[in-house]
Chains A and B, each alone.
Chain A
Amino acid sequence: MKKSYKIEVDCANCANKMEEAARATAGVKDAVVNFMTLKMNVEFEEDADVKAVMKEVLRNCRKVEDDCEIYL
């Protein structure tokens, strides 16, 4: 399953870091962060609990970029 989220982040490199952090999260098959449109497209694993996974994604993103936001 794929979902798109609006995000808030200040710099392009931070967006790249968020992408990596999101990809490394369990339950996420693939993630693409688009800095220009401020969007994160997440592809989830088959049986992933989307809400729980996204919470974890946000937590991991906050670790690499403190003041980022994902509008869940």
Chain B
Amino acid sequence: MSKKQKKVLIRIIAAAVLLVGFSVLAAQVRLNRWLELALFLIPYLVIGYDILKKAVKGILHRQVFDENFLMAVATVGAIALGDYKEGVAVMLFYQIGELFQSYAVGKSRRNISGLMDIRPDYANVEKDGVLEKVDPFEVEIGTIITVQPGEKVPIDGIVVEGSSTLNTSALTGESVPREVAAGEEIISGCINLSGLLKIRTTKEFGESTVSKILDLVENASSRKSRSESFISKFARYYTPAVCYSALALAFLPPLVRTLFMGADAQLGVWVYRALTFLVISCPCALVISIPLSFFAGIGGASARGILIKGSNYLETLARTKTVVFDKTGTITQGVFEVCGIHEHSCDSGSCPLQDGHSMGTPQEEKLLEYAALAECHSSHPISISLQKAYGKKLDYSRVADVQEISGHGVIAVVDGHQIAAGNDKLMKRQKISYRACSCVGTVVHIAVDGVYAGHILISDVIKPHAKAAMQELKRGGIHTLVMLTGDDAKVAKQVAAQVGIDEVRSELLPADKVAEVERLLAEKRQKETLAFVGDGINDAPVLSRADIGIAMGALGSDAAIEAADVVLMDDDPLKIAGAIRIAKKCMGIVYENVVFAIGVKLICLLLGALGIANMWVAIFADVGVMVLAVLNAIRTLMIK
């Protein structure tokens, strides 16, 4: 508890003791009216002096519907009517409510910053043989920093010395440690577990993964959802509306009674009812519980490696009924392996999928060499797998005139021969007759100087959780699962059947994917939303076109963090269902709070107007509802 909160707590206890004491006294002994007033004014001022002060200041600043002002009017009014106890009690409970709220909010703020406790405080830089702790902001690109076991990696870089295991759980929610060794990239925010590491930084602190993630999480709740905007708008009209009704309630009925009914005005009764209105008029319960729910939802998700960029996306995510996947890197690992080189024939025995490629004849090796060289400038997963299978160092000087044709393949001149390496479409485009492969996988056809030379079979590995993830999504109410891929129909169908996706669109160019998503967007029902899941590397246009773009395996990929609305730090597809579940639960709690708080307040207003609810009920409608709504909001933190 902060100092400010402690002071309020002491005042609450003192006022409560005094209030109970004087009430007992007043019940036992017949006190003079003025003496009783003086006695009750002591706890009233103890608990309410700051509210009264703020109310006066509010009036000076023309802030009439300020809650301090409302509380002041309601309590002073009650005391003036002779309801001393109620007057003091309203103020007392109001303060208890405020204290509780500020305590709960502070606690969840600390909880969430604790969950996201990845901010490194220093970086170790060696100066004259001595390690010195410096502010990570001051470390320039290319500096060698040392990370000792138990320390956080402060800045992205490349390991130059040492090897170790890393704990990435703060970033990904994944508890299995990762191995790093010299020459490998390392991402800030991981915790070094075992060995001493020397890292050459490749980014400034502000551009490092850890800063980007923190920035994203901290700014997430600034993008307000529609429920939040609704509530702040509601609050803007609710308070004045209730205040004017209170005014009308205090004076209209007595006026009607005296003028038209000839009855007693009963001004006191109606003013009392009006005062109960004022107590209920504070919109606090709503205004605090909604952003708190979103904040806790976003915070809880980020602790599991799911970064949601704003409350509005949480809202969209909860209504998702269609999920569109990119195949590579999302459902499959995106790590291709050459599993067969077919120069002349493709009998199924020649594609052993289990243990890598079979390097047969020198001709086959030549084929692989040509393909690897032609694609040596590309970072496409297929090209990388070719280079990996080739295994030898690539001599770039042998390659010239590289022409990359998106969605088709590569044409390049290698050792003076024109090599075309790519899919069926490339062969058709070049008007080269080719032989289709009988095995399932991605085929890279190779033509040398316009003559077909054979093909290389590459296949991708399906992620271990892909099937479970699809089942989980279907169980979560997603009715349409679609897979889009640039790959050929055979591979696409096989993968889809294996993981349980109903709709497949294959052989799509990047632009076709956008068109396909647009078609699906037009087809879906109005209130439902469509999520696109990609690896964020080359599907930025689709990510931004979908209602909600989810990038996965984004650890270390800036492009994905920029383009997507939801970022999954590791590449486990099960997290998609997790993110949707969190969003749904969070929205459920938000709606509960909206309906509950508005409902209780309206009922109490009605009962108050009819004279059934007294000021004690009004206090419940104000403080009690707020406490319950806040407790309910905090539940979002615990969603599993």
Contacts and interface: CB of A to CB of B under 8 A. Distances in A.
A binds B: yes
A33 to B, nearest CB: 9
Nearest to B239: A13
B235 A16 contact: yes
B635 to A, nearest CB: 16
B63 A35 contact: no
Contact of B98 (A4, A11, A39, A41): A11
Contacts of A34: 219, 221-222, 291
Interface in A29-49: 32, 34-39, 41
Contact of B291 (A35, A63, A66): A35
Given A36-B105, A64-B63, A12 B287 contact: yes
Interface string B257-283: 000000000000000000000000001
Contact of B102 (A10, A64, A67): A10
B614 interface: no
A36 B63 CA distance: 24
Interface stretch (B11-19, B54-62, B188-196, B541-549): B54-62
Interface string B79-115: 0000000000000000000100110010011000000
Contacts of A37: 109, 218-219, 221-222, 295
B98 A12 contact: no
A34 B63 CA distance: 22
Contact of A13 (B108, B219, B283, B294): B283
A38 B291 CA distance: 12
Given A11-B98, A36-B291, A66-B58, A41 B219 contact: yes
Contacts of B295: 36-37
B37 interface: no
B284 interface: yes
Interface size classification for chain B: 20 to 34
Contacts of B109: 36-38
B284 A36 contact: no
B424 to A, nearest CB: 49
A12 to B, nearest CB: 4
A16 B63 contact: no
A63 B218 contact: no
Given A11-B101, A12-B284, A39 B291 contact: no
A12 B106 CA distance: 12
A10 B98 contact: yes
A38 B58 CA distance: 22
Nearest to A38: B109
B224 interface: yes
A36 to B, nearest CB: 4
A63 B219 contact: no
A12 B224 contact: no
B232 interface: yes
A36 B67 contact: no
A3 to B, nearest CB: 13
A39 B63 contact: no
A57 to B, nearest CB: 15
A64 B61 CA distance: 7
Contact of A41 (B58, B63, B222, B283): B222
A36 B221 contact: yes
Contacts of A36: 105, 108-109, 221, 291-292, 294-295
Contacts of A13: 67, 235, 283-284, 287-288
A4 B119 CA distance: 18
A16 B61 CA distance: 17
Interface in B219-268: 219, 221-222, 224, 232, 235
A37 B292 CA distance: 10
A11 B218 CA distance: 19
B95 to A, nearest CB: 12
Given A11-B288, A41-B222, A16 B232 contact: yes
A63 B66 CA distance: 11
Given A39-B218, A41-B219, A66-B54, A12 B288 contact: yes
B230 to A, nearest CB: 12
A53 to B, nearest CB: 19
Given A13-B67, A13-B284, A63 B61 contact: yes
Nearest to B62: A63
Interface string B335-375: 00000000000000000000000000000000000000000
A23 to B, nearest CB: 12
Interface string A49-72: 000000000000001101100000
Interface string B11-33: 00000000000000000000000
Interface string B275-310: 000000001100110011011000000000000000
Contacts of B292: 12, 36
Contacts of A38: 109
A51 B57 CA distance: 26
B113 to A, nearest CB: 9
A63 B287 contact: no
B12 to A, nearest CB: 16
B61 A12 contact: no
Nearest to B112: A36
B252 to A, nearest CB: 28
A67 B68 CA distance: 12
A10 to B, nearest CB: 6
Contacts of B67: 11, 13
Nearest to A4: B219
A12 B218 contact: no
A1 B29 CA distance: 68
Nearest to B233: A16
Nearest to B228: A16
Nearest to A66: B57
A63 B57 CA distance: 9
Nearest to B215: A4
Nearest to B54: A66
Nearest to B57: A66
A67 B61 CA distance: 13
Interface of A: 4, 10-13, 16, 32, 34-39, 41, 63-64, 66-67
29 contacts: A4-B219, A10-B102, A11-B67, A11-B98, A11-B287, A12-B287, A12-B291, A13-B67, A13-B284, A16-B232, A16-B287, A32-B224, A35-B105, A36-B105, A36-B109, A36-B221, A36-B292, A36-B294, A36-B295, A37-B222, A38-B109, A39-B218, A41-B219, A41-B222, A63-B61, A64-B63, A66-B57, A66-B58, A67-B54
Given A39-B219, A64-B66, A67-B54, 9 more contacts: A10-B98, A11-B67, A11-B284, A11-B288, A13-B284, A32-B224, A35-B105, A36-B109, A37-B109
